Amino acid sequence: MKAITIASGNASESSAEFNLAKYLSPASFYIPSTEVTSSWIENTPFAMWIMEAIRPRTFVELGSLHGVSYFTFCETALRLGSRTRCFAIDTWKGDEHTGFYDETVWAGVKATNEAHYSSSSTLLRQTFDEALVNFSDCGIDLLCPPSARVRQNWFN
């Protein structure tokens, strides 16, 4: 992907590199139907755009908590009719950064998945390492990584 150059606070209109329309699509303006929120909510237009841009066969999210980001990806794939297989991997127990939480979180995510996304979405209640066996090399087209703090913990 080419970088967008911003000069003096304004994108140069003469630059052939700059074409904002490439980074926006009809899907960018979908309103996700999530009823919970998270600090991730402001990224949902990007999530919706990249699902349309890539139309992955297989999408995986590492760390889904209430599913704000994950269900946005699932919902976008369904709206696009892109037949993406979606997988969320989480212990649904929490961690030292997010905080440890009780079973009501898992119950809520499971209920939402069953009610709206079970035809295309699978929840893997495992650690990231345990879940590796479910995927072949090059078997994931789009991966939503965990937050930087979770990644740091995981690689240590």
Q: Contact residues for ligand SAM (CB under 6 A)?
A: 38, 40, 63-66, 68-69, 89-95, 98, 127-128, 146-147, 150, 154
Closest approach of ligand SAM to the CB of residue 156, in Å:
11
- Looking at the Cβ atoms of 17 and 102, the one nearer to ligand SAM is 102
d(CA 105, CA 15): 48
Closest approach of ligand SAM to the CB of residue 45, in Å:
14
**H or E element that contains 89:** strand 85-89
- Looking at the Cβ atoms of 49 and 92, the one nearer to ligand SAM is 92
- Looking at the Cβ atoms of 12 and 153, the one nearer to ligand SAM is 153
- Longest C-alpha distance within the chain, in Å? 55
Measure the N-to-C terminal CA separation of the chain; round to a whole number of Å.
30
No. of H helices and E strands in the chain? 5, 8
Closest approach of ligand SAM to the CB of residue 103, in Å:
12
Token pair listed for 133: 């066996």
